[in-house]
Amino acid sequence: MQELEKIGKLVRYYILESTTEAGSGHPTSSLSAVELTTTLMFGGFFKFDADNPKNPNNDRLLFSKGHASPLLYSLWALAGKVSEEELLTLRKFGSKFEGHPMPSFEYAEAATGSLGQGLSVGVGIAINGKYIGKLPYKVFVLLGDSEMAEGSVWEALELAAYHKLDNLIGVLDVNRLGQSRETMYGHDLEAYAKRVGSFGWHTITIDGHNIEEVAKAYEEALSTKEKPVMIIAKTLKGKGVSFIENKDGLHGKPLTKEQLPEALKELGEVDKSVLGTIAKPENMEPAKPEVKGKFEKASYEPDTVLATRKVYGKALARIFPKFQNIVALDAEVSNSTFSKTFRDEYPERYFEMFIAEQNMVGTAIGLSNRGKIPFVSTFAAFLSRAYDQIRMSQYSQANIKIVGSHVGVSIGQDGPSQMGLEDLAMFRAILNSVVLYPSDAISADKLVEEAAAHKGLVYIRTTRKDTPLVYGNDEEFKIGGSKVVKSSNKDSVTVVAAGITLHEALAAYEELKAKDINIRVIDLYSVKPVDSKTLEKATKETKAIITVEDHFPEGGLGEAVKSALANMGAKVHSLAVTKMPKSGSPDELLEYEGISKSAIVKKVEEVV
């Protein structure tokens, strides 16, 4: 205990010193969790090979309250992996010690700081350990009491209990104070215990500054079976410095250089030679999946008429022998997204997420952290509620694939609430994302395989309606490419489409051809990155470009084309969903929105 007290004192010293040097940061939020984390890491409870952070047997520690990053960095200084000089680069340009944890710091498990997301990431890592890798590691997640107001936390709590994740331990730092006022329940630990317990978790309430109580809580948590555990700790924000301890209005405010000496005097003399010892993990090999059959190429009969959404699960099952790290997650619509096809083939690699899209994406980030290739699926419209998790995935450098079905007005009678009309814009806005939009069974199958092979975020837009084949089995679809489906030396206009509107464009091609009007038809299946060269060639060889998409105009396929051709002065006419959608048959709605065959014919005739 005496050694842990020395370690805690030095951690507090580093927190105060680094945040004052930075002139910004969150010292008070870091100080409240010192005993909770030092006892965990250096009290023999946390097993981690500090020389090999990627060791698959390592326990994992996530700071869901990412603003306490000065504490995270200071802990690793006490582990001998960060120097004091490095700590003093906190928040400076070019430093890996950023304001909130980022993967550039090798001991950060994920990018955190957007509150309410860390527990979901922990769920993903825990699922991997218990059910996929079958490894003995534990997952610890430090949460702040303010973020317990986030719905995504409760989604994660619910799912963790459902899957009996007894390798997941939450540590709730109840320091009472949020950014602008007291939290909803203040220091009422029982209020948290009742709520968390009602979700099926084992709860332990403690004084978070009493090292002995903290140690006993970890002992109890590690011996609990069949349930995740939440340690609910009463703490004081700013603990250890009297003039900031438990004081409102000091969130995110470092001490001034004038205040620092007074605070350090209160701390007393620190021993900078002290180092903590982290216990070593077991040495086990991750379990390997049972693979059914061998990898084979897809083959479809020429008369196949099949919705791209129905191909998705089949494609996952087909490529699994080649990509054995695939894991499928679905938000309780597997019979509509057709992830159920993969589930039926590989049930041990499918996890039901229920109608909780935020947690589903967070869980996927956690699975990616452990080297898996998560494929996430739901209706495209419902991905909008998980956009913050999707946004944060780019900072975690997560290798996740997201499949949105039921896109556009072409879904028909279900009406606007079910129509994905913003998804292309959402996913194009993510840095380094890939956005794919197949038009038939063959392109869908090949693009699922391309997505699995690509490292990074990939979004695949699938269609509800059955469509005929456009391509043959030998056709290849590379990310960043496109297909010139129809062309001649006499093309007057180029029509660029993808998905359902490609079929409308092909129908328009036939009608216009009968009128002796030739058009070029391009399938822009890779909406991002876009095939600029093919578009530029079409711009030079035809009078104008017409884009057609089952999506709102903003941020969609049309704007992708306009951006690609911005320096060419190209004439680009965009047909998109511009009226308030409503229920109706797919054909009625395509006509109503002006993205049907007849609308394309009319626009071509106007341009010509």
Rounded Cα–Cα distance for residues 249 and 232 (Å): 23
Q: Is 493 helix (H, G, I), strand (E, B) or coil?
A: strand
DSSP string, 97-127: S-SS--TTSTT--S---STT-HHHHHHHHHH
Sign of the dihedral defined by the CA atoms of residues 366, 338, 321, 472, in that order: negative
149 DSSP 8-state letter:
G
CA distance linking residue 337 with residue 309, whole number of Å: 6
Instruction: Answer whether 429's CB lies under 8 Å from 393's CB.
Output: no
| Distance between CA atoms of residues 60 and 67, nearest Å | 18
339: amino acid identity, one letter: S
Q: Are strands 434-436 and 526-528 parallel, antiparallel or unpaired?
A: antiparallel
CA–CA dist 28, 26 (Å, integer): 6
Q: Which of 112, 125, 56 is nearest to 363 (CA)?
A: 125
Which residues have C-beta within 8 Å of that of residue 514, sequence separation ≥ 6? none
- Evaluate whether 469 touches 440 at the Cβ level (below 8 Å): yes
**Could you say which of 357, 449, 504, 559 is catalytic?**
357
Q: What gap in Å lies between CA 320 and CA 350, rounded to an integer?
A: 12
Q: How far apart (Å, rounded) are the C-alpha atoms in residues 282 and 132?
A: 17
Please indicate whether residue 541 is annotated as part of the active site: no
Q: Please give the backbone phi and psi of residue 341, each rounded to the nearest 5 degrees, phi first.
A: -65, -40
DSSP tag of 402? E
Q: How far apart are CA 286 and CA 289, in angstroms?
A: 10
Go through the chain and tell me how many residues it has.
608
- Per DSSP, which regions of 164-240 are E strands? 168-174, 202-207, 229-234
Name the nearest CA neighbour of 328 among 289, 287, 381: 289
Distance of CA 350 to the CA centre of its chain: 17
What residues are labeled active site?
357
